[in-house]
Amino acid sequence: MIKLIFGDSIHPGGLTLTRELGEELGLNSDDKVLDIASGLGTSAIFLAKEFGSEVIGIDLSQKNVNEANLLVKNKKLDNVSFMVGDAESLEFQNQEFDVVISECSFCIFPNKALAAQEMNRVLKQGGRLGVSDVAIEKELPISVKNLFLRVACIGDALSMEGYREIFDKTGFVIDKLTNRKDVVLETMNRIKKRIFIAEIAKGLKKVDLNQIDIKQAKYWLEEGKRMLMEGYGTYMVLVGRKVSIGENNNEQ
């Protein structure tokens, strides 16, 4: 049911934004990439195919890892794999990766500073970092906060400057921090169309939507759009790099 409403990629911007992130990071076939909280592997597989990089995805869910590896096997890809792993305790050697990415997941890590330190540790000197995530810029109303706390990829989101501060303090140079409110609006419009199609399918008895409260979905979609336009939150993309030896990490 979730796939019916959201499509293959749940995070705002979908694979279009994933491609943009890959381009911003200058991914190529010589890179070894770590995708943290890789879910069902959609982004990792896409980056491996699109840029030819070697990609390893980690996720806390064994079920997600099993499904992602099965998908890789079916697609006969040899440059991408998945394993169970914790962002706050990465089971990799120091300076093992050229690039670390995390999409719509950093906000739900309990200890964000530790996760950022681990990202820095496994990156080579000058290695690149790409993070996209929900950002909350103003205090949310209680009713909305209670809902968001139950929604994956919302969790304990920071402000855009909050993300900058964490990575800056962990030894990264932040090259670019972008407000991508546009991809949230695009995603909301896409979901609205999918809900409309789902309603038609339900009317024709082609799909069972008993698990989804369409009325509530419509309400929160409009409420989310209103709050987005009023500046309560947005979606940010951060691109940075690990400070090289002798480089000043305060240099922007």
Q: Is residue 213 part of a domain?
A: no
Asked if residue 41 has pLDDT above 80, the reply is: yes
Mean pLDDT of 185-196: 76
Cα separation, 145 vs 116, in Å, equals 25
Cα separation, 171 vs 251, in Å, equals 11
197 band by pLDDT with thresholds 50, 70 and 90: low
Domain range spanning residue 88?
Answer: 12-181+231-242
What are the beta bridge partners of residue 131?
102, 238
Q: Is residue 106 part of a domain?
A: yes
Q: Is residue 131 part of a domain?
A: yes
Report pLDDT digits (tens) over 5-32.
Answer: 444 556 788 899 999 999 999 999 999 9
Q: Is residue 138 part of a domain?
A: yes
Q: Is residue 118 part of a domain?
A: yes
52 band by pLDDT with thresholds 50, 70 and 90: very high
At 96, which CATH number? 3.40.50.150
Asked if residue 187 has pLDDT above 70, the reply is: yes
Which of 89-103, 138-152, 173-187 reaches the highest mean pLDDT?
A: 89-103
Cα separation, 247 vs 241, in Å, equals 11
- Residue 236's contacts (CB-CB under 8 Å, 6 or more residues apart) are 132, 133, 134, 135, 160, 163, 177, 178, 179, 180
Q: Is residue 57 part of a domain?
A: yes
Cα separation, 156 vs 128, in Å, equals 24
Q: Is residue 197 part of a domain?
A: no
Report pLDDT digits (tens) over 228-239.
Answer: 888 888 999 999
Mean pLDDT of 123-149: 81
Q: Is residue 154 part of a domain?
A: yes
As a whole number, the mean pLDDT across the chain is 85
Angstrom distances, CA of residue 218 to CA of 54, 189, 196, 199, 221: 40, 11, 10, 11, 5
Structural domain count, the chain: 1
